[in-house]
Structure 1
Amino acid sequence: MAFSKEDSTSGVSRRAVVAGGFALAAARPAFAAGSGTVRAPAGDFAGVAERGVTSFKGIRYGRAERFRAPVAVATPGRTVPAQRFGPICPQKHQGDEPQSEDCLFLNVWTADARPAAKKPVMLYIHGGAYSGGSVTDPMNDGHALAARGDVVVVTVNHRLNAFGYLYLARLDPRFPDSGNLGQLDLILALQWVRDNIAAFGGDPAQVMVFGQSGGGAKIATMMGMPAAKGLFHRAATMSGQQVTASGPLNATARTRAYLARLGVSETNLEPLLAMPTERLVAALDAVDPILGGGVYFGPVLDMKWLTRHPFWPDANPQGLAIPMLLGNTHDETRAFLSPDSVKVQGLSWDNLADRIAPELRIDILPEWVVAQYRAHFPDWTPTQVFYGATTAGRSWRGQVIEAEERARAGAPGWVYQLDFGSRTDPRRGAFHTMDIPLVFGTLDAEGSQTGTGADARAASAAMQESFVAFAKTGDPNHRGLPHWPRYALANRSTMIFDVRSHVEDDPRRWQRELFARVPYIQPGS
């Protein structure tokens, strides 16, 4: 890694800090019984013990100057309070949560903070594309998952939007890492886990990363980043794919649009470095010169940290040895396109093609798509066709490509589809994000629409048991499910998670084949 190794407080090398930390850990118990304090190489972290689980919130894993690579932080021998979440990355529309550019914090939940426990580690990366979100969402709370006693749970915040992905390298050589800073933050967090998680009862040789939406896309990208090699051993993506990264020319065009919105010249970036955080956030509404709408931020094919696309022209060879779990929900776009929105209200066969066209995100004749759906599903309403086609053409396509490319390479992979739908607003079905509370066991958390009945508990148990089994062994099979075969092109076996979970071969085959005839270009590429 090209990260700085200097500790921000003492100036000593990080190597010395880590070595000294291990010596301290060896000389003292790693867990002070009853105190909720763990002694790790990076510091003595004082958490909160509650209902059999000790949580450690707001652990700093790094610092970073604006638009520069993160720097590891360690304070060996120093007691650090870890009872509250750290601030999240500045962004729009995130309620009252504290926000700061200084947002490199992670959280740990453990039921057995002894190094001898050596439990698998499940590290979660949040969604929100690359511009929003955080792991302080109540549905992402790790207590219920850790309370099982068989895994240590870690969640990570990192830089987003312009702070994490504004590509300045072609405009100013002082910022060679700027297009992938959010990715580098995650890699630094994984290095922290490697060096410290044993003190919390975790096994650094059994680290599973899992992430929803943008979190899954970040994972798909990291699987092909040389700097991330060896830092995680299993990967699960939940409605999150990254087939291609942002090209450097398109990324530069987006940077120019953003700078223009700020009134900053591309030949003098000094005002950008001194500008208040609030102004940088306000300018996120700059119009994207390629896609339209708000400017897109995401990983960049910068030929330094990311030297090829994650899943084009095939699955990146670096990630083929990592077992992978890929999933999507049955009704993804019912989250983005509300049944009460102007896009959906008043849908008819007369206006469906016009309304569906921009939501498919691919260049295909919308009138033909509508006609094909009407012929194949004669009982469907315009609303059903709208959601079925937009989900298959827009949200599901990337996952199909990733699963296919790994299958062609003989890489270990399993695919799931979530059919368990909303219990509080049945119109939304199994919408995007529906699998988060089911995996975390946060059925009663704010924002969850699973309900807490026996049906939700059954679906949650099936998903959670599979994810935990996958963390342990790299295989999601367990006694509570029928046998779940690896994904192969011959059968395309897929686990359907629902009240009664079961395996289907090639579900939604007709829709998959319909859209497979048109090239897929990931938005933002």
Structure 2
Amino acid sequence: MRLQEKQPHNKNQKTMTLIITKTILVASCLAAAASASPLLRRQSSQGSSLVQDAPLAGDLAGIHLLLNNDLDSNTPKHPVIFLAEARSYKDSRHVCDTLGEDLVNSGNLGFAKDLLDITPIAANDLKKVTRLWVKNADTSSSSCTAFDRKSGDTIQLPCSTHLTALCANTLPRSQIGPDVHTDKTNQIKVRTPHAGTYQGYRDQNQFRFLGIKYAQPPVGRLRFMPPQRMKAGDADKAKDATKYGSVCMQGEYEGDAKPNATYVLYSLGAPENEDCLHLNVFTPTLPSKQGKKGLPVMVYVHGGGFTSFSGSSPVFEPGNLVSRGGVVVVTLNYRLGIFGFFESPPSIPRSKATGNLAIRDQIAALQWVQDNIVAFGGDPDQVTIFGESAGGYSMRALLSVPAAFGLYRNVISQSDLLGIPFSSPKIAGQIGAGLLKYLGCSPSDLACAQSKTADQVRNAEHNATMDVVLADGNEWLMTAGGVYRPTIDGDFFPGDFADLVRTGRYNRKANILWGTTRDEAAAFLPYVFPEPIPLDEKDKALAGYLLEDRTKKLFTSPAYALNKSDNDTIRSELSVAITDLLWACAVQRMSRGTASQHSKVYTYRMDHGRDIYSTFGEPFPPFCRGRVCHADDVIPSFGSGDVKDGTVQTGSDARFSRQVIDRFVTFAKTGNPNPKKKDSGLLGLAERNADVTSVQWPEYVDGEDRVFVFEEITGRVEVGKDTERCQWIEKNVHYDYQVHAPNGKFVPIFP
């Protein structure tokens, strides 16, 4: 996508750069601002003040949140709290009371036997449990009521008997809305090995510890510096983890307007501020002993073109993923835009401003996870990183940077533009130099840039970016998904991913699962071509879309033949062709490369999804109707289709989300997306999902081009369907990482 002529530096002017650098999430979440429907909650607003007598998790000797979560908003979940330590009836009831609950009502236990048999969350603690305390049906009796797992009945035992117990969990699932007031009074503290003590709260699905600083605030002299470790502080003084921390500085807003409260609520989850290096921990379990093996951990890196969104964006609400999957989920913020990618060598050497700050932030968060996640019930040896769009791009970066290799085991990369290379020091340095110029600083005066306000930096960033994008020879950046991308520096970032795959210098030990939605490009084309393109104007309209006449070459392929009876055939076929070029065929090629290096690789395509527009009550984008557009896989991946107050996730939406979550979680637990009998007890509900167990997802084999296709009901496997079309692209058009490699030289295809 290319501007036909240079345009003035007008901050209110809508340029294609600002369109392409933001994912389709931008439009959908902005749309949500107009569609909020109030629905009062029964809970009273408690703010974020800490409860003084909140228990310390370590003192409770193991507590687990269990529910039979089919992801359907309308079915009963029967949530309970399982107390893993054996106690007398009286002591068990006291612990329930400490948590703000009572023992489970003994008259309503029909769900309990099945729930205790299938949960992966407390599998180890439940292995030897045969009886559990529940609430007495007859309070006048000298004996007390226990639930027998084997028979499914209640029995009476002496109250002094030591048993594990089931407390009720009466709290709802977390949602957002202008009139949703979350009850945060049921709080609990966790003491970490290296970061101090945090006090969070509980909902139906998870314990939530929000706004945890994983690095010092990157402000003042730390602006444009690598993240600096936090000091633990007083271990006995609890830090407030009941609300999200500020999100990182966002890209330019429409008309320079600051984000209003509704945009913050639906799109960001918290206000923006330069002090933004926070992460959030969501866990269904708080362990009895920190030395005990914990649950697998999934760390999510958000998308948004490296300019937008945050780890607290509501669409990434992980409660259903946590409770159904039996995993600990971590979401995080990382610096965006120029705050995350500033560099300006040689005027400012890398010894003073290293660059690649966004990726360094992500690595710092992963290091925090290694140091502290055991306290939240997670296993630091079983970490999976995952992300979509720019988050998928980040997965590629973390596969490339040796400093990250020991921090994760599995990678799930969704909708990464694998056809686009990493950035070059030249481009990144030009933006950095331009920033200094527009800030009124000399080329080598880093301290001057650090002294400016965050808004001043953001204002200067726009002009500096447009100078580079509109410069002769840089037009191709319009197709690059944004100018802000990880930069090859030869040290921290040793090379472009294509080069690293060729030479085997990426993280070959990691298990990789990656793929696309069926119609990725359809999300973006209407912003460039708002109306159907008449057939007689095709060449003129498409002339500048890709450089080197590559759009014209694409349309010489019989795979993208035009249907003259369809007045929108050009945009339709262009959507297919660009999806192939930037996403699908690039995934196929990189899968061949990584498989040839003996990596374990699984590829997929989403032929079903859920658009974010309808979730927030807005009309579906017309061009995406009948298509599975970029970001349509986000909601199914989290099961977050009911996160907005007044919305639901039912029927086929819930069923499809179960399929996606069960596959992804199984991969996170075993490095393989197929449930196997040998993993019984670890996988929980995934083992019982016939939509998953009935279809084997094969590992990618070089030369066979196997793709697992997610469909609405179940999946299927394609072998070689796209091979001929992709080979044609590789021969006649080439990928951007080949023709626009960071070193300026053409890159031959590999393998």
Q: Same fold (TM over 0.5)?
A: yes
Q: How far 1:240 sits from its partner (Å)?
A: 1.5
SS of residue paired to 2:631: coil
**Range that drifts further, 421-430 or 432-441:** 421-430
CA-to-partner distance for each residue in 1:167-207, whole Å, 9 max, x for gaps? Answer: 13422237545311111111111111011111111100000
Alpha-carbon distance change, 374 to 52 in structure 1, aligned in 2, over 3 angstroms? closer
Q: Residue 207 of structure 2 is aligned with which of 35, 54, 57? A: 54
Match of 1:108 in 2: 281
Q: How far 1:118 sits from its partner (Å)?
A: 0.9
Match of 2:488 in 1: 301
Matches within 5 A, 1:31-50: 34=99, 35-41=187-193, 42-50=195-203
Alpha-carbon distance change, 453 to 509 in structure 1, aligned in 2, over 3 angstroms? farther
The answer as to 2:447 corresponding to 1:250 is: no
Measure the CA separation in 1 of the matches of 2:295 and 2:554.
49
Amino-acid identity (%): 28
Q: How far 1:227 sits from its partner (Å)?
A: 1.3
Measure the CA separation in 2 of the matches of 1:510 and 1:357.
26
Match of 1:18 in 2: none
Alpha-carbon distance change, 390 to 470 in structure 1, aligned in 2, over 3 angstroms? same
Q: How far 1:297 sits from its partner (Å)?
A: 2.0
Measure the CA separation in 2 of the matches of 1:278 and 1:224.
32
Contact 1:245 1:309 in 2 (8 A): yes
Match of 1:231 in 2: 407
Match of 1:366 in 2: 551
SS of residue paired to 1:217: helix
Match of 2:155 in 1: none
The one-letter code sitting in structure 2 at the alignment partner of 1:155 is: T
Q: How far 1:337 sits from its partner (Å)?
A: 2.5
**Range that drifts further, 55-64 or 111-120:** 111-120
Alpha-carbon distance change, 84 to 434 in structure 1, aligned in 2, over 3 angstroms? same
Q: What residue ranges of structure 2 are gaps of 5+ in the alignment? A: 1-55, 64-94, 100-186, 254-258, 265-269, 615-619, 676-686, 743-751
Match of 1:521 in 2: 736
Alpha-carbon distance change, 249 to 342 in structure 1, aligned in 2, over 3 angstroms? closer
The one-letter code sitting in structure 2 at the alignment partner of 1:431 is: C
Contact 2:663 2:674 in 1 (8 A): yes
SS of residue paired to 1:230: helix
Q: How far 1:27 sits from its partner (Å)?
A: 9.6
Alpha-carbon distance change, 327 to 176 in structure 1, aligned in 2, over 3 angstroms? farther
Contact 1:29 1:39 in 2 (8 A): no
Q: How far 1:249 sits from its partner (Å)?
A: 2.3
CA-to-partner distance for each residue in 1:197-222, whole Å, 9 max, x for gaps? Answer: 11111100000000011111112111
Match of 2:497 in 1: 310
**Range that drifts further, 501-510 or 46-55:** 501-510
SS of residue paired to 1:394: helix
Q: Residue 228 of structure 2 is aligned with which of 68, 71, 74? A: 71
**Range that drifts further, 96-105 or 29-38:** 29-38
Measure the CA separation in 1 of the matches of 2:655 and 2:377.
28
Match of 2:656 in 1: 459
Matches within 5 A, 1:120-519: 120-148=296-324, 150-173=326-349, 175-241=351-417, 244-286=421-463, 287=466, 288=469, 289=471, 290-291=474-475, 296-312=483-499, 314=501, 316-338=504-526, 341=527, 343-359=529-545, 361=546, 363-373=548-558, 376=561, 378=563, 381-422=569-610, 424=614, 425=620, 427-428=623-624, 429-446=627-644, 452-478=649-675, 480-481=691-692, 482-500=695-713, 501-517=715-731, 518-519=733-734
Measure the CA separation in 1 of the matches of 2:709 and 2:494.
35
Alpha-carbon distance change, 444 to 351 in structure 1, aligned in 2, over 3 angstroms? farther
Alpha-carbon distance change, 471 to 174 in structure 1, aligned in 2, over 3 angstroms? closer
Alpha-carbon distance change, 369 to 504 in structure 1, aligned in 2, over 3 angstroms? same
Contact 1:244 1:312 in 2 (8 A): no
Contact 1:347 1:383 in 2 (8 A): yes
The one-letter code sitting in structure 2 at the alignment partner of 1:434 is: D
The one-letter code sitting in structure 2 at the alignment partner of 1:458 is: R
Measure the CA separation in 1 of the matches of 2:584 and 2:596.
19
Alpha-carbon distance change, 374 to 38 in structure 1, aligned in 2, over 3 angstroms? closer
Measure the CA separation in 2 of the matches of 1:462 and 1:245.
32
State the TM-score, normalized to the length of structure 1: 0.87
Contact 2:580 2:586 in 1 (8 A): no
Measure the CA separation in 2 of the matches of 1:196 and 1:448.
36
Measure the CA separation in 2 of the matches of 1:486 and 1:454.
30
Contact 2:214 2:229 in 1 (8 A): yes
Alpha-carbon distance change, 430 to 357 in structure 1, aligned in 2, over 3 angstroms? farther
**Range that drifts further, 251-260 or 191-200:** 251-260
Q: What residue ranges of structure 1 are gaps of 5+ in the alignment? A: 1-23
Q: How far 1:390 sits from its partner (Å)?
A: 1.9
Measure the CA separation in 2 of the matches of 1:167 and 1:398.
29
Alpha-carbon RMSD across the aligned residues, in angstroms, is 2.9
Contact 1:139 1:448 in 2 (8 A): no
Contact 1:323 1:412 in 2 (8 A): yes
**Range that drifts further, 369-378 or 222-231:** 369-378
Larger relative contact order (CA 8 Å, sep ≥ 6):
2
SS of residue paired to 1:314: helix
Contact 2:560 2:576 in 1 (8 A): no
Contact 2:525 2:571 in 1 (8 A): no
Q: How far 1:253 sits from its partner (Å)?
A: 2.2
The one-letter code sitting in structure 1 at the alignment partner of 2:349 is: P
Contact 1:119 1:152 in 2 (8 A): yes
SS of residue paired to 1:185: helix
Measure the CA separation in 1 of the matches of 2:350 and 2:719.
52
Measure the CA separation in 1 of the matches of 2:645 and 2:701.
35
Measure the CA separation in 2 of the matches of 1:89 and 1:375.
41
Contact 2:610 2:636 in 1 (8 A): no
Q: How far 1:394 sits from its partner (Å)?
A: 2.8
CA-to-partner distance for each residue in 1:226-253, whole Å, 9 max, x for gaps? Answer: 2112100100100024563222223222
Larger CA Rg, structure 1 vs 2: 2
The one-letter code sitting in structure 1 at the alignment partner of 2:247 is: I
Measure the CA separation in 2 of the matches of 1:507 and 1:135.
36
SS of residue paired to 2:207: strand
Q: How far 1:134 sits from its partner (Å)?
A: 1.1
Match of 2:243 in 1: 84
Q: How far 1:55 sits from its partner (Å)?
A: 0.6
Alpha-carbon distance change, 348 to 374 in structure 1, aligned in 2, over 3 angstroms? farther
The one-letter code sitting in structure 2 at the alignment partner of 1:521 is: D
The one-letter code sitting in structure 2 at the alignment partner of 1:273 is: Q
SS of residue paired to 2:525: coil
Measure the CA separation in 1 of the matches of 2:640 and 2:560.
41
The one-letter code sitting in structure 2 at the alignment partner of 1:457 is: A
Aligned length: 498
CA-to-partner distance for each residue in 1:14-70, whole Å, 9 max, x for gaps? Answer: xxxxxxxxxx99999687973422111211111111114111110111113101111
**Range that drifts further, 159-168 or 247-256:** 247-256
